[in-house]
Amino acid sequence: MELYHDILKGIIDELVDSGNGDGSSNVKPTRVQLRSNLAYDKLVKYLDELERNKLIIKDPLQITPKGRDFLRDFDRIASFLIEMGIRYFDSSTVVGLRNQ
Amino acid sequence: MHNNNYGEIYHPLTFVDQLEKNRHIVLLYDNQKYAFWIIARYFLNGLTKGESCIFFTSDNPYEIENRLNMEGIDVRYYKNNNLLRIYTIERSDDNKQDTLNTLRHIRKDATIGMKPPFRFAGRTITDTETKEGMKLGIVLEAVGNENFDSFDNSQMCFYDISKIEKSMRPRWIHDLLKSHHCVIYASEPNKAVAFDTNLLDDEGQ
């Protein structure tokens, strides 16, 4: 989730710095890579995931309203997870099914 | 429709307004007032589109009707038009071990005489305060989620956080998030939030 945040923030920052906060700018993935401090292959993988989750459009690279909502809500989501005691999302199956 | 006291739109209501078709939602609440804001909005959005709404409960149905009325739903009108039903779930969870058949049977029985598309609110299990109860509940949720497309409906499963078994509560909530498409946290306006759970998928990897 934090990586999603960093990449989305990188896209927004790039839009703002290039003077096109309306999303009309042609954002280069390599610039987002620099801002999010990720290896390029990982960035490509996460951009695919972000597009699948409808948070960005890849061509041309831009952030969707849902992506903006996620950025806006990021702190609340993090606080919610901490309050619920969830440190990370386990990729294994759920506990009830494991014990069957 | 409901007007909150904070001079702003209650955050998760916008999320409810933008819900896509056939979503499996978990509503976690620490205050029943906010939970009913969410449920009523979810129902009203469906009712105004001609969808059939079914509320599962093991509580007194008249209390549920009163709460929905208070939140701006004309219960009598929608019941008379066969668009709203309060469906009583039996308190015992003993007959719910055959998970998929249980879900199919309840869905079929609860919607007799109603027209699709359907929106459900509620849970299949009643016992959330014991480990055995939660374990069965999680299995039902997970099986339901895996087969959700075949049900062709929306479902909002609500849980009072304070009544979820305490010793493993983080694990139960984790598993609830994992077995739903999205989560709504109905709490005070400065804490309430709603999001798609697949955004958490890469955590810890």
Phi, psi torsion values for B28, nearest 5 degrees: -105, 130
DSSP string covering A70-95: HHHHHHHHHHHHHHHT--S--SS--H
Residue B5 falls inside a structural domain: no
Please tell me if residue A100 touches chain B, with a CB cutoff of 8 Å: yes
Closest-CA residue to B5 (of B192, B194, B189): B189
Please tell me if residue B177 touches chain A, with a CB cutoff of 8 Å: yes
Each residue's pLDDT tens digit, B2-32: 545 555 689 899 999 999 889 999 999 999 9
Say yes or no to pLDDT of A24 above 90: no
Residue of A84, A91, A98 for testing the chain B interface, max B β-carbons within 10 Å = A84
Residue B190 falls inside a structural domain: yes
Please tell me the distance from the alpha carbon of residue B149 to that of residue B152, in angstroms, as a whole number: 6
pLDDT of A100: 41
Q: Which domains does chain A have, with CATH numbers?
A: 2-92 (1.10.10.10)
Q: How many domains does chain B have?
A: 1
Each residue's pLDDT tens digit, A35-58: 888 899 999 999 999 999 999 999
Tell if the CB–CB gap between B199 and A77 is shorter than 8 Å.
yes
> What band does A98 get if pLDDT is binned at 50, 70 and 90?
very low
pLDDT of A99: 44
> What band does B164 get if pLDDT is binned at 50, 70 and 90?
very high
Say yes or no to pLDDT of B205 above 50: no
> What band does B125 get if pLDDT is binned at 50, 70 and 90?
confident
The CATH number given to whatever domain includes residue B96 is 3.40.50.300
pLDDT of B103: 82
In degrees, rounded to 5, the angle at the alpha carbon of residue B190 between the alpha carbons of residues A22 and A88 is 85
Structure tokens at A54: 């409808």
What is this structure's pTM?
0.88
Considering only CB atoms, which chain A residues are within 8 Å of B200? 1, 81, 89
Considering only CB atoms, which chain A residues are within 8 Å of B137? 96
Residue of B10, B140, B168, B195 for testing the chain A interface, max A β-carbons within 10 Å = B195
Q: Which of A88, A94, A95 sits opposite B204 (nearest CB)?
A: A88
Please tell me if residue A1 touches chain B, with a CB cutoff of 8 Å: yes
Residue B159 falls inside a structural domain: yes
Please tell me if residue B200 touches chain A, with a CB cutoff of 8 Å: yes
Residue B14 falls inside a structural domain: no
Per the structure, the complete domain to which residue B64 belongs is given by: 21-204
Q: How many CB pairs under 8 A join A and B?
A: 88
Strands B153-160 and B84-88: unpaired
Considering only CB atoms, which chain B residues are within 8 Å of A94? 138-139, 141-142, 175, 178-179
Residue B74 falls inside a structural domain: yes
Query: Do A98 and B139 touch, CB atoms closer than 8 A?
Result: no
Chain A, residues 10-49, CB within 8 A of chain B, namely 46, 49
Chain B, residues 15-54, CB within 8 A of chain A, namely 28
Please tell me if residue A96 touches chain B, with a CB cutoff of 8 Å: yes
Say yes or no to pLDDT of B201 above 60: yes
User: Does ipTM exceed 0.85?
Assistant: yes
Tell if the CB–CB gap between A1 and B202 is shorter than 8 Å.
yes
Residue B178 falls inside a structural domain: yes
Residue B163 falls inside a structural domain: yes
Residue B4 falls inside a structural domain: no
